[in-house]
Structure 1
Amino acid sequence: MIDRRLFLAGSALFCIGADDPVPTAAAQLDAAAKVDGRERLALLRRISRQGLSPALSLDVAAALRGAELELAIAKAGDPAARYAFQLRFQGGVDITPDALFAWCSRRVQAITTRLDRLLRGEGLTEGPVAERLRILARDPRYLYADSDAGRDRAVADMNRWLSAARAWLSRQAGTLPPAVDHVAVRRMTGPDEAAGKAGYRVVPSYDGAAPGAYFVDLHDIRRRPAWSLPSVVHHETLPGHLLQLPLQARAAPHPLRLRAASGFVEGWAFYAEALAADVGAFAQDGRAEIGYLQWMLFRLGRAMIDIGLHLRGWTADRAHTFLHDLQGDPVIFAPFDKDIAKARSDPASFAGQVANWRGFSLLRARAVAQRRDVRPLHDALLAHGAFPLALFARL
């Protein structure tokens, strides 16, 4: 039998060896992950960051920020104060709910104005924007056939958008993983389609040796007009999830860092859609831009009902009406009532994703205003995997 005192003594020597701080910090992070509350915070505060790699230093800083905020959430007696801490925790940035709601409102107004012009170009001139989006979504000219041929055509169209994204991606990132050449949009198996399985991703390995794919949900294909799919490509594949996630897997951030950056991954994918629009991906296709803008209304609407339900006294009925009047039909995988229930049960989760999107957008806007190359910015944002954007200055 191993003497427990000798085992603990050996572990301590490994953890506090002066010559190599990395095992010390890594072991202390692992120990902190096994406890919570004040005990976790105390363990994290004892970690020295001297001599750590940038990634491990980011692990420690993110874990510490997360532990401080989780303790503040647990202690907050006032619901408004608790939600403010939840937004900082979920969003990874230090923004108030009122400021985020105002940003969302401004974005909604700008998007709705743009959609009005684009829909007029489609001959849809009467009624609210949301109602005109409903009409366009039912226009048979833009619907795929409910058949194998129709589904194959939808996947082929999406892969053409993916190929176009590869052509401009190198102008937005300086270091691209080989994986970007080994991703595709694919159909689900027949049984998965028949069962109505939601779309899902297979993340490629960094080197592309194990290819990746987005398996698109086409079981109810008549609810997926052609103009709604290009933005899905940029969200799910390039420059969205199938660019960010292989880099994250290679960086292997500590679970405590990922816990403190829960809105980063989806926020990046929202930003990826906006980046595609900003580089002109939709410039020659007004209907594809309509689809992109409707997706943005969907994401902004989720954040606004999240804040509305928790801080502004909104009822479920009011939130439902708000979404109905904002975006047109619900998206295929997110009925309004489902999103309202999610917003209620997981405070600040939707808002936190949008807070990350906003954070990425502000960083790029600053770089563009200063006439700096955005490629080093995007490289720095992605190289180490998800982290709270409030810590970006450390990189």
Structure 2
Amino acid sequence: MSAAAGADGVVRAGDAATLLDRLSWGLLELGPERATSLGVDTGAHANLRRTLEDRSPEGVAARRRFLTKALADLARLPRTGLDPAVLTSLAVTESAFRTALDGMALPYGVATIGDWRNTPYAVIQNVGSWLDVPQMLDGDQPVRDAADAEAYLVRLAGTSQQLDGETARIRLAREQGLVPPSFLLDKTITGMTQTIANAAKVDGPFVGPFARKAATIHGDWTARATRIVTAAIVPALQRQLAELRAERATATDAAGMATRPHGPEWYAWGLRAGTTTRRSAADLHAAGRARLFELQAQMDAILRREGLTQGSVAERAIAYQRRPGIGFTGGDDGRRQIVAYMQGRIDAIRPRLPNAFRRSVRGNLEIRRMPLAQEPGAPAAYGGPGTIDGKVPGKIWVNLGDPSIHNRVTIPDLVFHEGIPGHVWQGEYAQQLPLIRSILAFNAYSEGWALYAEQLADELGLYDGDPAGRLGYLMGLAWRAVRLIVDTGIHAMSWTREQALAEFIAATGLPRPNAESEVDRYCAWPGQACGYEVGRAEIVAQRARARAALGSRYDLRDFDQAVVDGGNVPLDVLTGNVSRYVEQVRAGARAS
């Protein structure tokens, strides 16, 4: 995909929007699943609905070529005369592309372009087509008519090629000495074995969504899908499973990157990508310790007021969660109670949002259970916005495999973080920007905003009279602080999994199943967990700067609006956006 250019080959200032648009569609050609999640795989771009990302070594090489060419085109684009919004989009694009290209220069792994799921392991318990395709087909792939049904089948048929591309990459990585930790492979092998057993079933992960969506469309759709899964997808999954078992035969229980070939180099890049800063592991580790100390003091005060005075903060937090009325019943009845409680918290915050924003988005949201195969390796929940046109709502995907991980302590901050005013809410603002800004995201901003959204819920009074919810809010913040400690401990200090679990449980009071899911995630996504607290702290610091600069002219609604209207950005670009907001308020005051 080439940039817009004059006859002399020079990209001119007036071509900035055209260039960014062309780069957007170039990215979506490389990752067509994203076009479907955004709802832009229509009209002239309808063929994107039928294809999948090439995850083979050749596919990685194609992405490197695209990024190299795109950065050269961006470098030739004059900046003179461009308005701040366009300059921000250019800065965001260059930052995302440069970081991804640097990651692809490493000898192995997944370096995403403007996404958060960077990992040295192309397939593991929470990464890979075996998880991504079923979720995409269930949550995003539309089936409204016969043409959509045919597109589903074509995409389904392409899944085996995507799986084989991944298998080639994990085999190459193994030949270079990169093998995931044994405990991650055990989870992955168990999950993939289950997926293979259920793959071709009418209610299975590949056929099931199609059978439901195509039920009213005339044709033998389910039978055709079953044949594709049986003849192509299951054999490809079996080939991938065989490679995972070959890895398991040589795996150790070393949890982090420090002992792996090129591991320290990979982790340094992972921290850079995850935080959009150059902060060291030692600096982040110390920051996590300091933040945790502060939060545990606040947790201690609540627990004492609730009559819990003996034992550590974590032990008392665990005891509090065992009190009658805090948890839910087991089984499907408990699962329904959990979803209803989550929905109730979303409903409670909606009418208060005008106190935090000048302009509201729709907050188009539904709460859905994760695909079953994903649950063993997944966190408690995650979320994001729906399609740009609003036809497909944003989602909070909730892990209901073990209902005991959810209770009235842990749920409120979870839904404010993942849903409203967190990921779903912020994502809808981003979707009002140029297309490339809906595609590119930065972990520190995304997760920092979602943590800041929890703080806004507190400031809007959602925890007033709710000691369980307030305790959960503080536990959630402590959880993100301890991520700095544990992520750096695992990957820079060679901590074992058990060391990391002990530290995590002692710091947060979260149940061991939650802790295992979290720690294993940090092992799989080095550096990603550090973005949360780094991003939150930066947004709060920028808010304090704006308040100090504006005095009586400061208004929370204007600050929050400036942050979400500026879109998903690296943290240095966030600073510039806030500076422009401050100057605009000052200019308005002078003009009046």
Give the structure-1-normalised TM-score.
0.80
| Separation of aligned partners in 2, 1:316 and 1:84 | 20
Greater shift in the superposed pair: 247-256 or 197-206: 197-206
Greater shift in the superposed pair: 25-34 or 338-347: 25-34
| Separation of aligned partners in 2, 1:256 and 1:308 | 33
The secondary structure found in structure 1 opposite 2:65 is coil
Kindly indicate whether the alpha-carbon contact (under 8 Å) linking 1:174 and 1:376 is maintained by their aligned counterparts in 2: yes
1:175 offset after TM fit, Å? 1.6
What is residue 20 of structure 1 aligned with on the other side?
Answer: 14
The secondary structure found in structure 2 opposite 1:214 is strand
Structure 1, residues 248-267: CA drift from partner, whole Å, max 9, x if none?
A: 223245279826x2332222
What is residue 249 of structure 1 aligned with on the other side?
Answer: 431
What is residue 187 of structure 2 aligned with on the other side?
Answer: none
Q: 2:308 aligns with which of 124, 134, 145?
A: 124
Paired residues, number = 380
Unaligned runs of 5+ in 2: 28-62, 107-260, 578-592
What is residue 59 of structure 1 aligned with on the other side?
Answer: 89
1:23 offset after TM fit, Å? 5.0
1:392 offset after TM fit, Å? 2.2
**RMSD of aligned residue pairs (Cα, Å):** 3.9
| Separation of aligned partners in 2, 1:130 and 1:10 | 57
In structure 2, relative to structure 1, the CA distance for the partners of 1:218 and 1:369 (3 Å cut) is: farther
Q: 2:338 aligns with which of 136, 150, 154?
A: 154
In structure 2, relative to structure 1, the CA distance for the partners of 1:349 and 1:103 (3 Å cut) is: same
Greater shift in the superposed pair: 299-308 or 18-27: 18-27
What letter matches 1:107 in structure 2? R
In structure 2, relative to structure 1, the CA distance for the partners of 1:10 and 1:173 (3 Å cut) is: closer
What is residue 273 of structure 2 aligned with on the other side?
Answer: 89
In structure 2, relative to structure 1, the CA distance for the partners of 1:105 and 1:391 (3 Å cut) is: same
Kindly indicate whether the alpha-carbon contact (under 8 Å) linking 1:28 and 1:43 is maintained by their aligned counterparts in 2: no
Kindly indicate whether the alpha-carbon contact (under 8 Å) linking 2:490 and 2:500 is maintained by their aligned counterparts in 1: yes
Kindly indicate whether the alpha-carbon contact (under 8 Å) linking 1:162 and 1:238 is maintained by their aligned counterparts in 2: yes
The secondary structure found in structure 2 opposite 1:329 is coil
The secondary structure found in structure 2 opposite 1:175 is coil
What is residue 356 of structure 1 aligned with on the other side?
Answer: 535
| Separation of aligned partners in 2, 1:18 and 1:72 | 27
Q: 2:385 aligns with which of 160, 182, 203?
A: 203
1:240 offset after TM fit, Å? 0.5
Matched, 1:314 2:498: no
The secondary structure found in structure 2 opposite 1:142 is coil
| Separation of aligned partners in 1, 2:489 and 2:373 | 37
1:243 offset after TM fit, Å? 0.6
In structure 2, relative to structure 1, the CA distance for the partners of 1:79 and 1:164 (3 Å cut) is: same
What letter matches 1:293 in structure 2? L
What letter matches 2:301 in structure 1? R
Q: 2:76 aligns with which of 46, 70, 73?
A: 46
In structure 2, relative to structure 1, the CA distance for the partners of 1:114 and 1:11 (3 Å cut) is: closer
1:87 offset after TM fit, Å? 2.6
1:394 offset after TM fit, Å? 3.8
What is residue 471 of structure 2 aligned with on the other side?
Answer: 290
| Separation of aligned partners in 2, 1:342 and 1:100 | 18
In structure 2, relative to structure 1, the CA distance for the partners of 1:152 and 1:317 (3 Å cut) is: closer
Structure 1, residues 331-376: CA drift from partner, whole Å, max 9, x if none?
A: 75x443x544443443321112332122112112333444411222
What is residue 264 of structure 1 aligned with on the other side?
Answer: 445
What is residue 170 of structure 1 aligned with on the other side?
Answer: 354
1:29 offset after TM fit, Å? 4.4
1:299 offset after TM fit, Å? 1.9
Kindly indicate whether the alpha-carbon contact (under 8 Å) linking 2:354 and 2:360 is maintained by their aligned counterparts in 1: yes
Greater shift in the superposed pair: 44-53 or 317-326: 44-53
1:226 offset after TM fit, Å? 1.6
| Separation of aligned partners in 1, 2:281 and 2:477 | 19
1:47 offset after TM fit, Å? 2.4
Matched, 1:237 2:419: yes
Greater shift in the superposed pair: 20-29 or 294-303: 20-29
| Separation of aligned partners in 1, 2:332 and 2:12 | 64
| Separation of aligned partners in 2, 1:207 and 1:91 | 31
Unaligned runs of 5+ in 1: 1-7
What is residue 346 of structure 1 aligned with on the other side?
Answer: 525
Q: 2:561 aligns with which of 361, 379, 388?
A: 379
Structure 1, residues 38-60: CA drift from partner, whole Å, max 9, x if none?
A: 66654432222234454442232
The secondary structure found in structure 1 opposite 2:431 is helix
1:162 offset after TM fit, Å? 1.7
What letter matches 1:26 in structure 2? L
What letter matches 1:287 in structure 2? A
1:106 offset after TM fit, Å? 1.9
Matched, 1:101 2:280: no
Q: Which has the higher contact order (CA 8 A, sep 6+)?
A: 1
| Separation of aligned partners in 2, 1:9 and 1:244 | 29
1:245 offset after TM fit, Å? 1.3
Kindly indicate whether the alpha-carbon contact (under 8 Å) linking 2:505 and 2:512 is maintained by their aligned counterparts in 1: no
In structure 2, relative to structure 1, the CA distance for the partners of 1:201 and 1:102 (3 Å cut) is: closer
Structure 1, residues 284-328: CA drift from partner, whole Å, max 9, x if none?
A: 211111111122222222222112223334333322221121112
In structure 2, relative to structure 1, the CA distance for the partners of 1:63 and 1:363 (3 Å cut) is: same
| Separation of aligned partners in 1, 2:69 and 2:4 | 23
Kindly indicate whether the alpha-carbon contact (under 8 Å) linking 2:5 and 2:11 is maintained by their aligned counterparts in 1: no
Give the structure-2-normalised TM-score.
0.55
What is residue 326 of structure 2 aligned with on the other side?
Answer: 142
| Separation of aligned partners in 2, 1:312 and 1:19 | 48
